[in-house]
Chain A
């Protein structure tokens, strides 16, 4: 074998390995499993001019006084282009975990509206969580400003680093994070751009992450286009099929009292509720009640936005429902007899055609632009 042939073989082998590794890394990221390629071994690619995150041009139904009241952005941490850009880098950085294997994006996958496609997430030491990772869609518009299924996170700035220090999820000593990130020469410059000087602090890390998460606004779904085209939400949307309009009407009559209160943009619930998932008060997840120990909170869970619900399976806090049809079957049945079950959870007994129409409507909430928006994608190559 000539030296030239040997050289070609070495090159080809390296190329095949590189492509395979790249595809594998891409696949594992899409599947929500820990990346074996640490961020500091990859190349950070950011646009010369930061992406636009601040003051996005929202449709009219986001701008009504009622809808705007849902915005939980604090006056001292507005979303800025450079702040959110920094938050994006941190979000995808595996150095947030103790052994440099897991980033926020491991369990919050953009293509799946920032949920984990797995029922339970795998932590930095391969341990499994006991709840499904919530989606991060439009967290900006949760007016109560409390997060996680049990609302233990007081606000986004406070919440964002809790998974990093959780001993099962990322296991990081967040007090050491500024020093860890500071060892990468790119970070001081990113912090300077975002905050005016290169100092890296725990508070600034949290603020940047919160800005990025608040920038994750989904507003370009088929529903949004339809809503923009009509005067009132109960009018048939011109871009909808008959089945989708029928599903919308059914949603407005039967589901909106919980999922679309007081506005037409956010598809969230104002407060956590018990939706009758379990009858047992002793041996099933107590949700908010496990945090407050208030009997009235037992079995109450926060609801994520229904935006992009088509791609956020599995559903509920424990991912017990694999499909939208299973979720609708649950509400159709009226749920189980937990003493705290909300009065709004009544048997609805949807017919097969009604269920199909509801699913068709829910799929109009999918925002493909959001799911593939490069502003929210992994900046490490």
Chain B
């Protein structure tokens, strides 16, 4: 497998049509035959960007003599270049129109030499990453002794298994009244698919690892059905409730912590609860250390002879 193909695989959960066309060639291990890759959803936590008016208001705050213009001398020295750039009428100052012109000029290209920078960030559970890996990772972060960790996992794993089963059953029950049969079948297959892709990487030290990249985002799958609003909105809401249950956002968190009472100390329970309350954010290209943190990082994998930074998720 070539490096470019690996990059595509990493991007898959967030890719659009081109990846879908290449799906059969690139994803021999996908278990969902009806899988259609869909665009990443709009992030739930949409960032309200500052406005042009915010910029103009900020700049005019420097107009100390209230003459409607920002003189060079009224600015911090580091901003002098703005006057050189924007003073269209050559009066040595910037008026509101000149500020607006500057603010609407195309921004200089932001480049990071030689590095694929992130293409944005989303909540991990929103784009198909497993909440379970976050929960298990948070337990791991407590750095318990092996014996105590085993004890804790003996509680956590059955709890999560039961929760996933129950939450999936409840979700499908809701979907059964919202989706036509063919789409329900596709949705069920997606729900039962634990990951979008799995590949083998050969570690530089001779180790071989199976790599699971991302997962299928159920909300995006719902969006891909192009349902009428009367079905689409409750379907999305059902998926959101399902995801919230899996990330222990509701009473399940207290239930799990209660079961761990006696295994974890009070301080460890507090730390575990705090960790469970956090909602991991991941880079949309899946290459950030934040993603690595929940999955593990191995460097310098060799793919077809080419050293490649690699990441893996232990296959469950």
Contact = CB atoms under 8 A, between A and B. Distances in A.
Given A298-B55, A341-B47, A343-B281, A253 B138 contact: yes
Contact of A262 (B43, B102, B115, B120): B115
Contacts of A260: 289
B131 to A, nearest CB: 13
Interface stretch (A2-10, A29-37, A346-354): A346-354
Contact of A353 (B267, B278, B297): B267
Contacts, number: 194
Chain A interface, >50% SS class: loop
Given A252-B293, A351-B271, A294 B143 contact: no
B274 A70 contact: no
Contacts of A350: 274
Contacts of B292: 233-234, 252, 256
B309 A261 contact: no
Interface stretch (B106-114, B165-173, B221-229, B241-249): B106-114
Nearest to B296: A234
B277 interface: yes
Interface residues of B, number: 72
Contacts of A166: 77
A283 B61 contact: yes
Interface string B276-309: 0111111100011111111011111000000101
A270 B121 CA distance: 14
Interface string B94-110: 00000100110101101
Contacts of B275: 253
Contacts of A289: 50, 55, 58
A66 interface: yes
A343 B281 CA distance: 8
A271 B110 contact: yes
B45 A343 contact: yes
Contacts of B143: 236, 242, 245-246, 249
B185 interface: no
B289 A295 contact: no
B52 interface: yes
Interface stretch (B7-15, B78-86, B176-184, B255-263): B78-86
Interface string A247-277: 0011011101100111110000011000000
A116 interface: no
Among A65, A233, A263, A294: residue with most chain B CB under 10 A: A294
Given A166-B77, A231-B205, A249-B140, A143 B297 contact: no
A221 interface: no
Contact of A144 (B112, B116, B141, B307): B112
B17 interface: no
A286 B77 CA distance: 14
A58 interface: no
A257 B121 contact: yes
A340 B282 contact: no
B189 interface: no
B117 interface: yes
A262 B142 contact: no
Contact of A294 (B45, B107, B120): B107
Contacts of B79: 290-291
B51 interface: yes
A335 B77 CA distance: 29
Interface in A318-361: 338-344, 346, 348-351, 353-354
B118 interface: yes
B76 interface: yes
Nearest to B54: A281
A84 to B, nearest CB: 22
Nearest to A284: B58
Nearest to B312: A232
B117 A271 contact: yes
A350 B118 CA distance: 26
B55 A295 contact: yes
A66 to B, nearest CB: 5
A339 B47 contact: yes
Contacts of A339: 47-51, 54
Contacts of B52: 295
A346 B278 contact: yes
A338 B103 CA distance: 19
A143 B111 CA distance: 9
A65 B122 contact: no
A199 interface: no
Given A253-B137, A290-B79, A344-B121, A144 B58 contact: no
B76 A290 contact: yes
A229 B134 CA distance: 26
A130 interface: yes
A249 B292 CA distance: 11
Contact of B115 (A143, A256, A298): A143
B70 to A, nearest CB: 11
B110 A351 contact: no
Given A130-B76, A291-B78, A351-B271, A64 B288 contact: no
* Shortest Cβ-Cβ A-B pairs, 10 listed: A257-B290, A256-B289, A252-B293, A249-B141, A293-B103, A69-B114, A298-B50, A281-B54, A295-B50, A260-B289
12 contacts: A65-B309, A66-B115, A66-B309, A253-B294, A256-B288, A256-B290, A256-B293, A290-B78, A293-B59, A339-B48, A346-B278, A353-B270
Interface of A: 64-66, 69-70, 72, 130, 143-145, 148, 150, 152, 166-168, 231-234, 236, 242, 245-246, 249-250, 252-254, 256-257, 260-264, 270-271, 281-283, 286, 289-299, 338-344, 346, 348-351, 353-354
Given A289-B58, A339-B47, A351-B267, 17 more contacts: A66-B115, A246-B141, A252-B292, A253-B294, A263-B289, A264-B299, A270-B115, A270-B118, A281-B57, A293-B103, A295-B54, A338-B50, A340-B50, A343-B45, A346-B281, A349-B277, A349-B278
Interface of B: 43, 45, 47-52, 54-55, 57-59, 61, 76-79, 81-82, 99, 102-103, 105, 107-108, 110-118, 120-122, 137-138, 140-143, 205, 267, 270-271, 274-275, 277-283, 287-294, 296-300, 307, 309
